[in-house]
Amino acid sequence: MFEPSAKPIGLDLAQTAKIIRRALDDAMIAGGGSFPVWSVLISVKSQQFGHQRQLAESVGIQGATLTHHLNAMEADGLLTRRRDPANRRKHLVELTPSGETLFLRLRETAIAFDRQLRAGIGQDELDLARSMFARLRANVSGENTETREGAEAGL
């Protein structure tokens, strides 16, 4: 029977991510939104007139879940959806002035949260953490990290 001498890294990472995600959502709620609303706002803002399917992929949620969020956000006056004139089966999503205002407020909330999260951590440590996150993602996806890192470096 396998008994690790230390907590498995996956469990530690999952628990840490859960705590940070809750704290981020709490910060977003205090800022007048939520993590899902922030995810949609930043994706729409960064991609401009994205289609709903592209938006779901960007946010990392299923289409039905996105539709639920978009319906609520549209009812709250944060965004509009309209048919794409080039393809009537697709909907284009745009922020309203109220959506822009909430985006700016939540952006400040996200910046403050990021500062809090980075407190006491130097740039070298952040770079190492990002490198480790990339390696962990590659390990679970089956990617060859050496090949991927070489390609990113242009080798």
Cα angle value 42/82/107 (rounded, 5°) = 15
Tell whether 5 is covered by a domain: no
Distances 28 to 57, 71, 91, 137 between C-alpha atoms, Å: 21, 19, 27, 26
Provide the pLDDT for residue 38.
Answer: 93
Residues 77 and 48 in one domain: yes
Residues 74 and 129 in one domain: no
Residues 144 and 73 in one domain: no
pLDDT at 152 over 60: no
Residue 16's domain is classified under what CATH number?
Answer: 1.10.10.10
Residues 81 and 63 in one domain: yes
Looking at every residue in the chain, the average pLDDT score rounds to 86
pLDDT class of 5 with cuts at 50, 70, 90: confident
Residues 30 and 89 in one domain: yes
From CA 8, how far away is CA 92, in angstroms rounded?
44
- What pLDDT digit, counting tens, does each position of 37-72 carry? 999 999 888 875 557 777 777 777 777 788 888 999
| Global pTM value | 0.76
**Closest to 50 in 3D by CA, of 40, 36, 65:** 40
- Domain of 128 in residue numbering reads as 121-155
- What pLDDT digit, counting tens, does each position of 127-147 carry? 999 999 999 999 999 876 555
